[in-house]
A and B are shown apart, each in its own frame.
Chain A
Amino acid sequence: MTSDQTSTAGTVISQGGVAETPDGLITVGKTMPDGEAMLSVRNMKKVYHTDGGDIEAVRNLTFDLPQGQLACLVGPSGSGKTTLLKCIAGLLAPSAGEVTLHGKKVTGPPKSMAVVFQEYGRSLFPWMRVRDNVELPLKNAGMDKAKRDELVDNALEAVGLAHVPKSYPWQLSGGMQQRVAIARAVAYQPQVLLMDEPFAAVDAQTRADLEDLVRSVWKKLGVSILFVTHDIDESVYLGERVIILSSSPTVIQEDVLIDLPDERDQLETRSSQRFSELRHHVYEQIQLAKKGFRPEDALAK
């Protein structure tokens, strides 16, 4: 099922494969033997039923996320990235196929999962101060005050916001608001963190800082992160792996291993030759997807 290639300079390692699915012969992402993956997505399909007829947003997605991995999902706009994320988060029910977390089927938002949304201004409670926002999920879970305080302090410290706990979110800049949302997710101590284009609405300089923040939080916590983005550079810079989605109806077009050194640096990494090779490759694939290239058609030939 998996067809790994040996790494040579300039070539890109595709870890995906081809599988026979209910939807025909289709390219899939890297999968692991049963029971080993933390998060499993199997033959996931999503069809929206509208008055104007059915819309097939996602055709078939199959991939695994091992414990502690940082994977980026990238695809052309309208490729059903958010739909996929909402299905994984248990906010939407897939039309077919399933999502499992630790072998248990996801039917509603799982306890060990946190989501950071793109719209930071709409995901923080405007009637609560920064600290209360971060604390609320813990309070709701019935955690005692001392433990809560410690987690909240650490989380705010980790995102560099220890100095504004008494502010309201809307008094902060966009980048800082997104930091609050990240702090809230961090304090919640999830095993899987889903991020839906979290930096799409912040300016470029802030975005670079936040990217490094995500890397550092990921390393510190050992959490698995699934990071959805439309930004190709961001996906290559952040991930250990980039899953490229086709245009809608979505399938996995390619699952690329990002074999960049573990220590990433905005200047060094981004100017390295390997970075530009990988970036080049992902860019080409996205361009193909935009032109309507269908991986399953290529397989049929």
Chain B
Amino acid sequence: MSADAPLATPVNLTEAAGGPGTSRSAPTSSPAKKSPGAKRAWGAVKGLFFIAALPVILVLIWYISTAVGEKNFFVPTPALLVETFFETWTGDRITTDVIPSLTRLLFGIAGSIIIGIVGGLLIGSVRWLRALTEPTLEFFRAIPPTVLIPVLMLLIGIGDDMKVAVIISGALWPILLNTIEGVRSMDEVLADTTHTYGITGFNRVRYLILPSAMPQIMAGIRQSLSIALILMVISEMFAASSGLGFTIVQFQRSFAIPEMWSGIVLLGIIGVIMSFIFQLIERNVLRWYHGLREIENAA
């Protein structure tokens, strides 16, 4: 801490001396005077830079450490991996492995969201139900979903529903518990207001409870997405004949190392796309929340 302090001062001084002075001497060429279109383009370039900079550096490091010197059987070069990626994942595998995996993932996530929100609204609103279920929920939450796989295989077989059940058994918890917490932390004045205007029953859920718990629910969903992806892969490693998890394990066992890596890359890409879609939805659903927070922080 104390070492940082002396460093910060000179930086601020140079900024204060150089920054405003230069822009004042050349006002016509300052970026602020550019047309809105150019400004937006510049913003897009900047955004692209921040997205791409780290991946480019990582690939460079990877390239240097694999292309220079001796070849490593277990780590392919970037060029080989890209080639393998397109070879492996553009043919039949899309329909035989990628689509089934994504479908299971989607059903798992949708199931977790529906069960989590409905259950959370119920448990969060009904006091005796909360008292009744909370210790039990703690118990089930503590069980790692992976140990349930053999049990579920015995109970509901080795089909797709088992895999969806495994995903739900793990991805459900962040949504369920966050929803309960979101419902419980309801603002008292807002609840009183709703009550005095006679807003009860389903309208109370629709206009008060659900939107008020939405920030916590969204935080829960965000956590659930990555858990769901992990469990999708793991569930496909047991007694499966298709799917990404199954295929990656097959590659690994047959020493198809570049192919195995390409599968891992595909999982990463799916994760990134999921998080991107989530952010897009979240920004729309919680626009009010982000605006409110911004104003509160500025005050």
* Partner-B contacts on A (CB < 8 A): 86, 89-91, 109, 111, 113-115, 117, 119, 122-123, 125-128, 136-137, 140-141, 168, 170-171, 188
Contacts and interface: CB of A to CB of B under 8 A. Distances in A.
Contact of B192 (A91, A141, A171): A91
Contacts of A141: 198
B51 interface: no
B75 interface: no
Nearest to A92: B192
B276 interface: no
A111 B195 CA distance: 10
A-B residue pairs, 7 tightest by C-beta: A122-B189, A137-B197, A127-B288, A127-B211, A109-B196, A115-B196, A123-B193
B278 interface: no
Contact of B211 (A90, A125, A168, A188): A125
Contacts of A136: 197, 199, 207
Given A114-B197, A188-B197, A122 B187 contact: yes
B196 A170 contact: no
Given A117-B189, A122-B190, A168 B288 contact: yes
8 contacts: A91-B192, A123-B189, A126-B292, A127-B214, A137-B197, A140-B197, A170-B288, A188-B197
Contacts of A123: 189-190, 192-193
A169 to B, nearest CB: 9
B30 interface: no
Q: Which residue among A115, A127, A141, A168 has the maximum number of chain B CB atoms within 10 Å of its CB?
A: A127
Given A125-B207, A125-B208, A127-B289, A91 B195 contact: yes
Interface of B: 187-190, 192-193, 195-199, 203, 207-208, 211-212, 214, 288-289, 291-292, 295
Contact of B196 (A114, A128, A171): A114
A117 B291 contact: no
A114 B194 CA distance: 10
Contacts of A90: 196
Contacts of B192: 86, 91, 115, 117, 123
Given A113-B196, A127-B289, A168-B292, 18 more contacts: A91-B192, A109-B195, A114-B196, A114-B197, A115-B193, A117-B192, A119-B189, A122-B187, A123-B193, A125-B207, A126-B288, A127-B211, A127-B212, A127-B288, A128-B207, A137-B199, A140-B207, A170-B292
A90 B196 CA distance: 8
Nearest to B200: A140
Given A140-B199, A171-B295, A117 B288 contact: no
Nearest to A109: B196
A115 B193 CA distance: 7
A70 to B, nearest CB: 19
Contacts of A119: 189
Contacts of A115: 192-193, 196
A91 B192 CA distance: 7
Contact of A91 (B187, B196, B203, B289): B196
Q: Which residue among B197, B203, B208 has the maximum number of chain A CB atoms within 10 Å of its CB?
A: B197
B287 to A, nearest CB: 9
B239 to A, nearest CB: 45
Nearest to B214: A127
